[in-house]
Amino acid sequence: MEVTGGSPLRGRIRPPGDKSISHRALLLAARAEGTSVVRGLSGGDDVIRTRTAVRLLGADVDGERVTGGARRLHECEVPIDLGNSGTGMRLLAGFVAAWPWLTVLTGDEYLIRRPMDRVVEPLRRMGASVDGRDHGRLAPLAVRGGGLDGIDYELPVASAQVKSAVLLAGLAADGETVVRERVPTRAHTEEMLAACGADIETDGLVTRLRPSRLEPFELDVPADPSQAAFWVVAATIVPGSDVVVEDVYVGQARTGFLDVLRRMGADIEVDGSTGDIHVRAAELHGTSVGGAEVPGLIDEIAVLAVAAAVADGPSTFRDAGELVVKETNRITTITSELGALGGRVEPTSDGMVVVGGGRFRGGVARSRGDHRVGMAMAIAGLAADGTTRVEGWDAVATSYPGFQEDLKQLCE
């Protein structure tokens, strides 16, 4: 993909449906006893993989309608390929652990290198048999579930994916399942389980779930804040821009990137009733990002680094060691690819220091198979002198296949 810098972005845009909510909606609809209606699912490859998975497990998926339930679900005859989707694999591990079948979960060359022991360990404690490469640390994973017991589990790392896997398994466990968090993570699973009639309660840090029968539901999936972040940063750093990003989910632990950008001086207004985010170009200054806010914006650090590179003064990102185990090691990837466009980034053991005060120049950057890095480099290209080519653009189809079309719309 090629991007030419200098043109302001103007207009209104709605990013694709939230990826995290889309995964969970498909899994809960497959588990619910009856037909659910889910409108606005993400069209990215990650969610398509989960859609295919629930079909292979026996749910009927017909457009917006998903018909599931215990009597429909069954053992899958073939390995389930999750492509590049870490969310899909971790959530499905919890989903299938509830059933006395063998399920094999695999993925592409990037996914099979990502850590899975963080879900394997609690599922084993609940009574599931889970194996994989390196004693279950890496996929492919072979899961044989059923006969589970509820556990009281404190997350060793802040992870909505691990929390969700344990809760999905806990739906069929004997007794209460308790998940404890040190810092709150996105609450989609808890919110959606409650909407399905599950016996669940949470105070934001401790979630308690009893065995539950799920009722079918209707859901309009809001726009994905992680995808909205690319347009918010673009409108902020490209002079003359004025953009409204529509219908964005602005619930718990999903809008931390907006807080960071506001600290940096961004001109952002959020309509809490509609989820619309209005952004105008602004001069930025450096900031520090770390601590409890990091889990809520870990997926946005790639594009926040782009904003930091053109801000006045340095920005520090710390307590973000989770970046190492994303689709790529994002600490090294962001350092190298922003550097290729003139950004100055110094990697650290748990994050990076973005020097700031610079101006991007056109050039060649690579996604390295990471969809968020690819899109972040395209946003850098919009603020660069000249033309930027982003190699490995096919990785963006993982989450935002319509990115180029939306970019064209905003630049017309």
Residues carrying an active site annotation: 299
Give me the residue label for tokens 């309608």.
65
Any idea what DSSP says for residue 246? -
Q: Which pair of structure tokens corresponds to residue 343?
A: 């950004």
Q: Where are the alpha helices (DSSP H) in 311-367?
A: 330-340
Q: How far apart are CA 39 and CA 252, in angstroms?
A: 21
Sheet with 177-180, side-by-side order of all strands? 152-154, 177-180, 206-209, 200-202
Phi, psi of 85 (to 5 degrees): -90, 100
Q: How far apart are CA 47 and CA 1, in angstroms?
A: 23
The CB density around residue 37, as the number of other CB atoms within 10 Å, is 14
Q: How far is CA 322 from CA 94, 239, 329, 350, in A?
A: 21, 33, 9, 8
Q: How is 163-217 classified by DSSP, letter by letter?
A: HHHHHHHHTTSBS-EEEE-SS----HHHHHHHHTT--EEE-SSEEEE---PPPP-
Question: Maximum distance among all alpha carbons in the chain?
Answer: 62
Half-sphere exposure of 83 (CA within 13 A, CB side): 22
Q: How far apart are CA 268 and CA 279, in angstroms?
A: 5
* 8 Å CB contact between 72 and 60: yes
Q: How far apart are CA 89 and CA 284, in angstroms?
A: 38
> Strands 315-317, 288-289: parallel, antiparallel or unpaired by DSSP?
parallel
Q: How far apart are CA 193 and CA 216, in angstroms?
A: 11
Q: Which pair of structure tokens corresponds to residue 63?
A: 């457009």
Q: How far apart are CA 350 and CA 126, in angstroms?
A: 31
